[in-house]
């Protein structure tokens, strides 16, 4: 019995269990899923330490050198250098107490992400990590839906893009947009696993039931950022599929023009006659430009910014500066870390897209690039870009960094996909 238990509990099992525990701890912040009573800071420190130990153990066992350099390594270094420069070097004294908090939060986030990516690469756990996230997200979605089932009565898809009549519910999440982002993240996990041929339970009904529930919750949130982001993802993916398809050039050109027209109309008139500019104004995104930018330009700190502080601190005017809610990642970076910070983010964005464009697997490359475009688009409406504080980043950042490293290729799963394909070919031949 002891021998059997020992063979089952491997380093990989421990790593995936720890990852599930971490995700539940993050979920406890924004949902009513409070099954992790520990302090989230303690959880992140302990988690990172354990994951780095598992990584070191495997490297020593294989007699391999530490720190294999990939393009993901450069992105990781830039992220770390950014937070050190603006979290410890260029501190604006009036905001020092807030900057210290941001520095701690972002450092813990990066430790969690980097340690998870290290373990994922060394143990070839990309599929396992995504499956673990899938199970945890499925549990959270079903739990939040069933415990807040009455919210479904307010579902009204027609008013999602109508600000004055929009019906919104949270299903127990801390905010409508947090719910929307969570559902979209779940959809991304679902899509990648399906493409990898790694969906749990086979094609059983529970996968599609949970997918349906997540879509219902997504529209219930009426999060225009999340919904329009998924539209952007779908259009980008369709465009890239068409570019590699064997259909006629005229047909391809017609479909591509149609996609371009849809995008133009969407940004010009939305789904309810509202222009993209009107949506920005109604959601207060234009106000931050009118208030925050003039303050930034008059501050004398254009190079290094007003100082790292949370969006809430600036939104509630708890600084010496007249600002507003910085619900735009690009404006947030400019205001808080100045021109120098923007240079960092531009370089990191270039590295991200160059690396994803080099992914060998064509099917995954299209998904990853579409996801990155959606990620950049959504950052125009929320402070989320490469940043802690939102649960989806604990998934997206891992996906991006693992993809850049090339370690998402799990030999066993890829072989399974090939076997499935060959079996299908044989069956067709037999018929």
Tell me the pLDDT tens digit for each residue of 301-359.
Answer: 899 999 998 888 887 778 888 887 788 899 899 999 999 999 999 999 999 999 999 99
Which residues, in sequence order, are CB contacts of 56 under 8 Å at separation 6+?
A: 66
Q: Which residues of the chain have pLDDT under 70?
A: 1-8, 67-68, 161-165, 202-203, 247-252, 256, 259, 262-287, 408-431
- pTM score, whole prediction: 0.86
Q: Is residue 232 part of a domain?
A: yes
Q: Is residue 419 part of a domain?
A: no
Distance CA 80, CA 321 (A): 27
- Residue 427: per-residue pLDDT: 42
Q: Is residue 422 part of a domain?
A: no
Q: Is residue 28 part of a domain?
A: yes
- Residue 243: per-residue pLDDT: 76
Q: Is residue 90 part of a domain?
A: yes
Q: Is residue 417 part of a domain?
A: no
Q: Kindly write down the DSSP assignment for every residue of 54-120, as one continuous string.
A: HHHHHHHHHT--S----HHHHHHHHHHHHHHIIIIIS--GGGHHHHHHHHHHHHHHHHHHHHHHHHH
Burial of 26 (0-12, 13-18, 19+ CB in 10 A): buried
Is the CB of residue 243 less than 8 Å from the CB of residue 255? no
Structural tokens at position 104: 């701690």
Which residues, in sequence order, are CB contacts of 250 under 8 Å at separation 6+?
A: none
Q: Is residue 205 part of a domain?
A: yes
Q: Phi and psi at residue 72, in whole multiples of 5°?
A: -65, -30
The tally of domains found in the chain comes to 1
Minimal CA–CA distance to 102: which of 260, 367, 312? 312
Structural tokens at position 426: 């044989």
Domain containing residue 120: 2-409
List the Cα angle 95/96/101 in 5-degree steps: 100
- Residue 33: per-residue pLDDT: 81
Q: Is residue 315 part of a domain?
A: yes
- Residue 250: per-residue pLDDT: 66
Is the CB of residue 230 less than 8 Å from the CB of residue 192? no
- Phi-psi map region of 38: left, alpha, beta (phi>0 left; psi -120 to 50 alpha): beta
- The pLDDT tens digits of the residues spanning 256-284 come to 677 677 666 665 555 444 555 555 555 55
């Amino acid at each position: 019995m002891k021998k059997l238990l020992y063979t089952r509990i491997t380093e990989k099992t421990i790593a995936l269990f720890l990852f599930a525990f971490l995700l539940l701890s993050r979920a406890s912040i924004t949902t009513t899923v409070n099954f992790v009573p520990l302090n989230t800071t303690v959880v992140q420190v302990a988690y990172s330490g354990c994951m780095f130990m598992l990584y070191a153990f495997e490297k020593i066992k294989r007699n391999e050198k530490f720190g294999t350099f990939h393009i993901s390594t450069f992105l990781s270094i830039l992220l770390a250098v950014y937070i050190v420069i603006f979290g410890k070097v260029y501190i604006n004294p009036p905001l020092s107490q807030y900057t210290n908090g941001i520095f701690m939060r972002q450092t813990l986030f990066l430790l969690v992400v980097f340690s998870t990516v290290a373990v994922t690469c060394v143990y070839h756990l990309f599929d396992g990590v995504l499956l673990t996230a899938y199970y945890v997200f499925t549990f959270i979605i079903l739990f939040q839906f069933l415990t807040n089932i009455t919210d479904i009565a307010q579902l009204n898809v027609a008013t999602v893009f109508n600000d004055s009549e929009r019906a919104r519910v949270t299903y127990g999440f801390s905010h409508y947009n947090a719910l929307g982002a969570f559902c979209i993240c779940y959809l991304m996990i679902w899509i990648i696993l399906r493409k990898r041929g790694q969906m749990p339970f086979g094609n059983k009904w529970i996968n599609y039931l949970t997918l349906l529930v997540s879509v219902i919750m997504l529209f219930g949130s009426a999060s225009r950022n999340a919904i329009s982001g998924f539209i952007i993802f779908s259009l980008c993916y369709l465009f890239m599929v068409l570019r590699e398809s064997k259909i006629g050039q005229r047909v391809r050109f017609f479909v591509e023009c149609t996609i371009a027209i849809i995008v133009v109309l969407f940004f010009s008139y939305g789904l309810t006659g509202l222009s993209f500019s009107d949506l920005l104004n109604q959601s207060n995104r234009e106000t931050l430009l009118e208030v925050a930018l003039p303050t930034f330009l008059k501050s004398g700190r254009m190079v290094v910014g007003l100082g790292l502080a949370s969006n809430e601190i600036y939104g509630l005017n708890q600084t010496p500066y007249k600002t507003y809610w910085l619900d735009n990642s690009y404006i947030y970076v400019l205001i808080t870390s100045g021109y120098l910070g923007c240079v960092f983010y531009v370089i990191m964005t270039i590295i991200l897209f160059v690396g994803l464009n080099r992914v060998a697997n064509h099917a995954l490359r299209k998904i990853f690039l579409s996801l990155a475009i959606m990620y950049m688009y959504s950052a125009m409406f929320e402070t989320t870009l490469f940043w802690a504080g939102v649960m989806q980043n604990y998934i997206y950042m891992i996906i991006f960094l693992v993809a850049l490293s090339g370690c998402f290729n799990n030999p066993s799963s890829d072989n399974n996909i090939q076997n499935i394909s060959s079996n299908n070919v044989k069956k067709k031949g037999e018929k």
